[in-house]
A and B are shown apart, each in its own frame.
Chain A
Amino acid sequence: MALLELKNIYKTYKQGEFDVHALQNISLSLDTGEFAALVGPSGSGKTTLLNIIGCLDSASSGSFHLNGNDLTQAKESDLSNYRLFQIGFVFQAYNLVPVLSALENVELIMVLQGRHHKERRERAEHYLKLVGLQDMMHRRPKALSGGQQQRVAVARALATNPRIVLADEPTANLDSENATALLDVMHELSHEEKTTFLFSTHDLRVMQRAERIITLSDGQIQKDETNPAAVA
């Protein structure tokens, strides 16, 4: 069974008097451990689709299953819990809580999950080491570079043991070196932890590393193909 399954998803917004069809008839499934990218021009519906998959938004019609659970009609409080226990997020910017250190940022979600102090401290330290920030755990975000902050976000997303990590333009604000390092880390962890990664991106560097590329245009899937270069 697929980890994630979307069937005939439509999303329509009201913009003034007009209806905007952000997504039309989207059907998609993702399996455990996939490293995939949603690509397409601005306004093609990437972020909207990512928001629906991330339980941040709901579809106007269609069905959505995550890990076997039908979330099509789920209440906000339930969606909030799915986000907490099953989904990890990495956003383009402003990923971290500024008043918390890197370690505390990673721990925060595990606090919400109700994990024991010792366990969450060990996991937070483990994942921060994996992303190469063992010496910067106690720094607050403003004392970290953009690339380091994104690595903390990746550690935070993975430390909760999610089924899927959604990353919206995670490399958009990073230089080449930092972007490559971040993608290396995510790719490695995806394979080690068997965690599904889904990116929304314009970034060629991400597309080159994604093993599956889903191309959106005008709210519809134009192409859904494996990336032989990345798979190899």
Chain B
Amino acid sequence: MNRQRLGLRTLTMLAWRNLWRHRRRTIITLTSISLGFGLSVFSISLGDGGHNNMIKNAIDFGEGHIAIQTTDYLQAPANYKFIADQNPIIERLQQLNLQGKIAPRIALQVLVSSANNSIGAALQSIDMEKDPRVEKLKTQLVDGRWLTNNEQRGVLIGEGMARKLKVKLGSKIVLLVGKKGGDSEAQLARVRGIFKTAMVELDSFLILSNLQFGQRYLSSEDQANPNAVTRLAIFLDEHDSLPYWHQEIKTALKNFNVAVLSWEEMMPELVQYILVDDIGNYIMLILILAVIVFGIINTVLMSVLERTREFGLLRAIGINRGHLLLLVFFESIWLSLFSVAGGWIIGGGIYWYFSTVGLDITGMIPEGTSFGGTFMDPIMYAELSMQRVTQITVIVFFTTLASGIYPAIKAARITPVQALRT
């Protein structure tokens, strides 16, 4: 005897018509799913936007994508741990044809004193013309002027530090650096400018100087080599090329006795913060998906139960269990496709708005948005990578589809005799 066939076209057509049998119910279900989808797009895209913004600021205001420093500096930072001669490393990096900028830096823990007060601070000595940090901080200068690479004792401090030390432009401050063996060295500096950023850490603890000033402290440790730096910060042109260049540089510098660290390794607390925040977002996504799942199960199951007699008829006239299961499953496929499409219309609209206009969070977080050595811009912009778009679409589509399995099995189990009795 021949086997029965039910083509894709017939299944699709039947499922499509069944879906719209109760137009209002289907529209309500689709709307609720789409709104849930839109909400998850909003939550995830804003979360991603915030995280990416924090990472970008951490890189721009911090130590770049990759930092090269002495091997034991990260575990136990000390002022006497520095790269004695940066030149061979820079030459090796130039041979790699690196797509990015190399910024030599000196970072020292100092005790800064004015006539009125003393506080602990971080001295950062950079190339005052070429360092990528210049373009970020120069615009944040609220008083005074930017430094040149030639001046002898000029420094820039944050507004918070100026307030604590009770100093103003032109004031003298003394920077005391602890050295190996318990000695210390003090240098006199003069405040040439005051900056104000969104980061408490920068405003209250950062002192900026040119490299020449920082090298005074290192030169006395190593008189023979004035090219000493504590770190080489690398700013890549393409953020996504980080894994490649991280590995390339690591390999290239394996004989230099230096650590090549990515920003994630430099700022593990930021990575953990993002991870925890992502988990929160995923929990929210799971809750939204649960609402979607129950919405679909409710719709499809109700539609199956009220068609028990009809399914009985279909079974009686010869349609087999498999085809009945497929028929109901195809209804779920339609529902899934519409849910995803509707979800992207709503979610896409929300995303477009918040990626263009942004969300002002200053009122929501009055204590500031700095965290773990970075900060979030006061206006948050939504961001969605292609990977995220695929991830959300696939998760919602298959969750929606999976919701149709139980009703489909229920329909397939209907026996014609019992169904026709109802």
Contacts and interface: CB of A to CB of B under 8 A. Distances in A.
Interface of A: 51, 54, 56-57, 76-78, 80-85, 87, 89, 91, 94-95, 97-100, 108-109, 111-114, 156
B2 to A, nearest CB: 6
B316 A81 contact: no
A99 B310 CA distance: 11
Interface in B162-196: none
B318 A112 contact: yes
B318 A84 contact: yes
Contacts, number: 78
Interface in B1-56: 1-7, 10, 14, 17-18, 21
B401 to A, nearest CB: 22
Given A80-B321, A112-B5, 6 more contacts: A80-B4, A94-B309, A98-B21, A108-B10, A109-B317, A114-B3
A99 B21 contact: yes
29 contacts: A54-B316, A56-B316, A56-B417, A56-B420, A78-B1, A80-B4, A80-B319, A81-B4, A81-B318, A82-B1, A83-B318, A84-B4, A84-B317, A84-B318, A84-B319, A94-B313, A98-B21, A98-B310, A99-B14, A100-B14, A100-B17, A109-B317, A109-B318, A111-B5, A111-B7, A112-B4, A114-B2, A114-B3, A114-B5
B219 to A, nearest CB: 87
Contacts of A100: 14, 17
Given A80-B4, A98-B21, A111-B10, A51 B317 contact: no
Query: Nearest 10 pairs between A and B by C-beta?
Result: A84-B318, A99-B17, A83-B318, A114-B5, A112-B4, A80-B320, A56-B416, A57-B417, A56-B417, A81-B1
A89 B417 CA distance: 13
Interface of B: 1-7, 10, 14, 17-18, 21, 309-310, 313-321, 323, 416-417, 420
A84 B2 CA distance: 10
Query: Which secondary structure dominates chain B's binding surface?
Result: helix
A53 to B, nearest CB: 12
B313 A112 contact: no
Nearest to A157: B317
A98 B1 CA distance: 29
| Interface-centre pick from A94, A95, A99, A113 (highest chain B CB count, 10 A) | A99
A99 B317 CA distance: 16
A81 B3 contact: yes
Nearest to B422: A94
A113 B2 contact: yes
Contacts of A95: 313
A83 B2 CA distance: 12
Contacts of A97: 14, 310, 313-314
B329 to A, nearest CB: 17
Contacts of A85: 1-2, 318
A133 to B, nearest CB: 19
Nearest to A109: B317
Contacts of B7: 111
Contacts of B321: 76-77, 80
| Interface-centre pick from B5, B6, B21, B320 (highest chain A CB count, 10 A) | B320
A197 to B, nearest CB: 16
Contacts of B14: 97, 99-100
A15 to B, nearest CB: 13
A94 to B, nearest CB: 5
B263 to A, nearest CB: 58
Contacts of B317: 83-84, 89, 108-109, 156
B57 to A, nearest CB: 57
A81 B315 contact: no
A83 B313 contact: no
Nearest to B1: A81
Contacts of A77: 320-321
Contact of A112 (B21, B316, B319, B417): B319
Nearest to B9: A111
A73 B314 CA distance: 23
| Interface-centre pick from B5, B309, B316, B317 (highest chain A CB count, 10 A) | B317
B21 A80 contact: no
A170 B165 CA distance: 100
